[in-house]
Structure 1
Amino acid sequence: MTKYTYTGAWPVAPTPFHDDGTLDLDGMRRALDCIVDQGADGICILANFSEQFLLSDAERETLTRLCLEHAGGRVPMIVTISHFATPIVVERARLAKALGARAVMMMAPYHGALLKGTPEQTFEQFQRVGEVGIPIMIQDAPLSGVDLSVPLLVRMAREIEMVKMFKIESIGAATKLRRLITEGGEAIECPFDGEEGITMLADLDAGAKGTMCSAMVTEHIRAVVTDHLKGDRQAALAGYQRLLPAVNHENRQCGFRAAKAAMVEGKVFKSEFCRHPIPPLSPETRAELIDHLRPLDPIAMKWGL
């Protein structure tokens, strides 16, 4: 069984649109190039911060093909494949594998507030994807409304060979990560956190080896993880405290619109458009975000200047 030791910062790539709401495919290529230049250890596409819930199936396939081809092996790529229907998830996994993705990421099966897979159905869906033969990152996210208990996660890690990575972004992520690592032992190969890195220091202290952040300040997020992994917690603490105002504003006020605003500032792509019913950032919220980002001098805000 292959062991995986992925660490560092694995940002979610934003999905650029033109002002008329159509996909900006050149902007997508430029966003990937910018993230590579940020020093990302890997890139995730079609995740919630990629606005996956606003994309058609045909657009998902277009973006999957474009992103994996354009990345060209420069960094490992994770493709998000979440869906309530197991056959659809399996087909998405097959496509990702065929196109050279390093792994897939998926939430537990859910649809809306009330259609949720049971623990056994969740296990079975991950098991079916595991049969495709591509590594899986389990995304434990509040958005699904599904409680992925530590015993269930440990069972999947031990009984489904392709379950390799864990993105824990539920409430109390550090406590859950610590318990998952303790109870799962060697079966927990790549524990990560999410939520833009807002709880990153506590999660690293709990044993996380990486974080799936946004693409707003990837290079700074990565520096915190790197410092912590090499044992320099004071440097990690200082870096985290420096980042926290911007990351907090992103997490609590902007969501996925923050990375788009930063990249438009840096002329990575042209439009911050988000499809209805997502509203644009208010001018005040956007201005506050940029004020938080300027002292950090992020690559995203100067890449295309």
Structure 2
Amino acid sequence: MTSMSYTGAWPVAPTPFNDDGTLDLPGMRRVLDCIADQGADGICILANFSEQFLIADDERETLTRLCLEHIAGRVPVIVTISHYATQIAVARARLAKDLGASAVMMMPPYHGALLKGTPEQTFEQVARVGEVGIPIMIQDAPLSGVELPVPLLVRMAREIEMVKLFKIECAGAAAKLRRLIAEGGEAIEAPFDGEEGITMLADLDAGARGTMCSAMITEHIRSVVLDHLNGDRPAAAAGYQRLLPAVNHENRQCGFRAAKAAMVEGKVFASEFSRHPVPPLSPETRAELLDHLRPLEPVAMRWGH
């Protein structure tokens, strides 16, 4: 694929659970249908905002198969494969490819605060995954605690054929995106941002071509990206300003629980349950979120009514 294939809004699909903590598989199918109806340009599954750190290995395989079978090519799907062990990351990438995923996303190898891959080990892991033959999105996220300097990212883009996408969501993302694009040139096929789009306007100004947001207000996020890509920055800025209170509340107060709350309101699935030790949203925080969302009339809050 070329960089033009990777633009717009690629939301992370939330993972619904039943109130007893089991996977809500019918709800997962409804999540995918809702995101498709939002007009998403692609979908990412099993990411941090999918609560991947609360999901067992056998459940990951179940969800990977279910999602790719249910989407059935309607939109491209990126499967998150991050793991400290290179062998496991490679196996996850191979499964994703075999099931028809369009790409995989991976953070650098890390486990907790102290087990972190060196730059060379990170490069080696990505190269091993690249041998599987599926496009790779490198996720530069604070959660890993691993620094990914621009020269390392550029080296990956130039030397590992499958490294095509970059999700930059570290502090100062716009400055890093601008430098990455300047130093990497044509090798940087698809620069994205993340963090629910909270710095999206600055990141688009810096050259981002897409965003990996949550599934809370995908259609509105996408409009901002497309306005900017079409050269209408005033419209993009106006749209961004309209969305910012909701996105800020999501990013700073709710995290991945925001999209779940919106979708429960929209009867996409029934329960906002997250596995322990994640606490539920407080009633006040949830009410404030919905107050921000109602004027936007998001698809997620209307879909099942």
Other-structure match for 2:118: 118
1:4 deviates by 3.4
Q: What does the per-residue CA deviation read over 1:258-289, in whole Å, with 9 as the maximum and x for residues that have no partner? A: 00000000000000000000000000000000
Q: Which segments of 5 or more consecutive residues in structure 1 lack a partner in the other structure?
A: none
Other-structure match for 2:75: 75
Q: CA RMSD in A?
A: 0.5
SS in structure 2 of the partner of residue 180 of structure 1: helix
Other-structure match for 1:228: 228
Match for 2:114: what amino acid? L
Match for 2:16: what amino acid? P
Match for 2:3: what amino acid? Y
* Matched positions, count: 304
Distance 1:155 1:72 in 2: 34
TM-score, normalised via structure 1 length:
0.99
1:45 deviates by 0.0
Match for 1:176: what amino acid? K
TM-score, normalised via structure 2 length:
0.99
Match for 1:90: what amino acid? V
1:4 maps to 2:9: no
Q: What does the per-residue CA deviation read over 1:155-175, in whole Å, with 9 as the maximum and x for residues that have no partner? A: 000000000000000000000
Match for 1:59: what amino acid? E
Other-structure match for 2:155: 155
Distance 1:47 1:242 in 2: 27
Distance 1:75 1:151 in 2: 32
Other-structure match for 1:199: 199
Distance 2:257 2:46 in 1: 15
SS in structure 1 of the partner of residue 133 of structure 2: coil
Match for 2:8: what amino acid? G
Q: What does the per-residue CA deviation read over 1:91-126, in whole Å, with 9 as the maximum and x for residues that have no partner? A: 000000000000000000000000000000000000
Match for 1:243: what amino acid? L
Other-structure match for 2:267: 267
Other-structure match for 1:284: 284
Other-structure match for 1:64: 64
Structure 1 residue ranges (4+ consecutive) displaced by more than 6 angstroms after TM superposition: none
Distance 2:3 2:140 in 1: 19
1:298 deviates by 0.2
1:3 deviates by 3.1
Distance 1:69 1:38 in 2: 19
Distance 2:108 2:91 in 1: 16
Distance 1:122 1:4 in 2: 24
1:179 maps to 2:179: yes
Distance 2:118 2:138 in 1: 16
1:189 deviates by 0.2
Indicate the percent of aligned positions where both proteins have the same amino acid. Answer: 85
Other-structure match for 2:136: 136
